[in-house]
Copies of this chain bind each other. A is one copy, B any other.
Amino acid sequence: MSVHLEEMLAACKPYTQQGQLPSYIPALKKGDPKHLGVCLLSCDGQLIQAGDCGVQFSIQSIVKPILLLQALLDNGVDAVRAHVGVEATGKPFDAINYTDQVLDSQHLNPMVNMGAIAVCSLIRGSSYQERFHRLLALTRLLAGEDARIQVNEDVYRSEKASGNKNRALAYLLKTYGIIQDDVEEVLDCYFHACAISTDCVGLARIGCVLANKGCQPGSQDPIIPPEYARFVNAILTTCGMYDGSGDFAVRVGVPAKSGVGGGIMAVVPSRMGIGIFSPALDAKGNSLAGTRLLELLSRELNLSIF
Interface residues of A (CB under 8 A from B): 85-92, 94-96, 99-101, 109, 164-165, 167-172, 174-175, 183, 229-231, 233-235, 237-239, 243-247, 249-250, 253, 255, 269, 304-306
Shortest Cβ distance from A292 into chain B, in angstroms? Answer: 16
Instruction: List the B side residues contacting A99 at CB < 8 Å.
Output: 99
In the complex, the answer to whether B86 meets A269 with C-beta atoms within 8 Å is: no
Instruction: List the B side residues contacting A306 at CB < 8 Å.
Output: 229-231, 233-234, 237, 255, 269, 305
Q: A250-B234, A305-B269 are in contact. Are A87 and B244 (CB under 8 A)?
A: yes
In the complex, the answer to whether B246 meets A109 with C-beta atoms within 8 Å is: yes
Shortest Cβ distance from A164 into chain B, in angstroms? Answer: 4
CB within 8 A of A168: which of B92, B95, B171, B230? B171
In the complex, the answer to whether A235 meets B255 with C-beta atoms within 8 Å is: no
Nearest-CB residue, chain B, relative to A231: B250
CB within 8 A of A246: which of B165, B171, B238, B305? B238
Bound CA–CA A164/B230 (angstroms) = 36
Shortest Cβ distance from A226 into chain B, in angstroms? Answer: 10
Shortest Cβ distance from A38 into chain B, in angstroms? Answer: 22
Instruction: List the B side residues contacting A243 at CB < 8 Å.
Output: 87
Instruction: List the B side residues contacting A175 at CB < 8 Å.
Output: 164-165, 168
Summarize A's interface: helix, strand, loop or mixed: helix
Nearest-CB residue, chain B, relative to A87: B246
Q: A164-B171, A168-B168, A174-B164 are in contact. Are A238 and B245 (CB under 8 A)?
A: yes
Instruction: List the B side residues contacting A88 at CB < 8 Å.
Output: 87-88, 90, 238-239, 245-246
Q: Could you name 29 residue pairs across A and B whose Cβ atoms are closer than 8 Å?
A: A86-B247, A86-B250, A87-B90, A87-B247, A88-B88, A88-B245, A88-B246, A90-B91, A95-B101, A100-B100, A109-B246, A164-B171, A164-B175, A167-B168, A167-B171, A167-B183, A168-B168, A168-B171, A230-B306, A231-B250, A231-B306, A234-B246, A234-B249, A235-B246, A237-B238, A238-B245, A255-B306, A269-B306, A305-B305
Instruction: List the B side residues contacting A170 at CB < 8 Å.
Output: 168
In the complex, the answer to whether B250 meets A235 with C-beta atoms within 8 Å is: yes
Instruction: List the B side residues contacting A92 at CB < 8 Å.
Output: 101
